[in-house]
């Protein structure tokens, strides 16, 4: 398998994936194009948190942020947890999604997998940090009842969806009170 690059944009508060865009390589031009599309589709953030990779410290990248009045915050080099939210999403993408796909058939297929992952992560995967709510519900600022953590069976108020490509099952609350 070839080396895979995916730009992931996340709403830090709700953990909602705004964009998961495969890149053909780690260059500033591709990252800038993907971020510009994200800005058009979802608006511009006040801040952007990133690692200190060369793509994110390049003059072209800084120019994009300056021209859009977006402040950059870098995670500390070697400081575990400084960009923990993003690192956790990427770890989930790799180990709970991409590694479960039998084969990635190319760039277009990877794009589809990233879209399916975003849907699953945002709408189906409960988060302990969010009180067992999904990122989509937290993004909409809706209160949801907590899902019991020790239940051995799927509670009856949950909807089930099978994501066939990766053999992952998603659960979400059918109706919010």
DSSP 82-121: TTHHHHHHHHHHHHTTGGGSS---SHHHHHHHHHHHHHHH
Whether 93 shows a pLDDT value over 70: the answer reads yes
How far is residue 31's CA from residue 150's CA, in Å, rounded to a whole number?
A: 41
Whether 55 shows a pLDDT value over 70: the answer reads yes
pLDDT in tens, 94-124: 998 888 888 888 889 999 999 999 999 999 8
The pLDDT of residue 158 is 60
Grouping H, G, I as helix, E, B as strand and the rest as coil, residue 27 is coil
Query: Average pLDDT, stretch 144-166?
Result: 59
CB-CB neighbours of 136 under 10 Å: 19
Q: What is the 8-class DSSP label of residue 146?
A: P
How far is residue 154's CA from residue 145's CA, in Å, rounded to a whole number?
A: 15
Query: pLDDT over 90 for what percent of the chain?
Result: 42
Q: What value does the mean pLDDT of the chain take?
A: 83
């Amino acid at each position: 398998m070839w080396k895979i690059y995916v730009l992931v944009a996340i709403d830090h508060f709700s953990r909602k994936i705004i964009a998961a865009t495969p890149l053909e390589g780690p260059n500033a031009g591709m990252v800038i194009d993907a971020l510009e599309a994200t800005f058009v589709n979802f608006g511009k953030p006040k801040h952007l948190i990133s690692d200190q990779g060369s793509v994110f410290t390049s003059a072209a990248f800084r120019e994009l942020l300056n021209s859009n009045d977006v402040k950059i915050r870098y995670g500390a080099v070697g400081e575990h947890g400084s960009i923990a939210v993003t690192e956790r999403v990427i770890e989930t993408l790799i180990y709970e999604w991409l590694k479960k796909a039998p084969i990635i058939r190319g760039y277009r297929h990877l794009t589809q997998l990233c879209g399916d992952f975003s849907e699953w992560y945002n709408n189906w995967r409960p988060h302990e940090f969010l009180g067992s709510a999904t990122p989509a519900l937290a993004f909409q600022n809706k209160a949801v009842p907590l899902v019991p953590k020790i239940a051995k069976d799927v509670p009856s108020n949950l909807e089930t969806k099978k994501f066939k490509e990766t053999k992952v099952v998603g659960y979400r609350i059918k109706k919010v009170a």
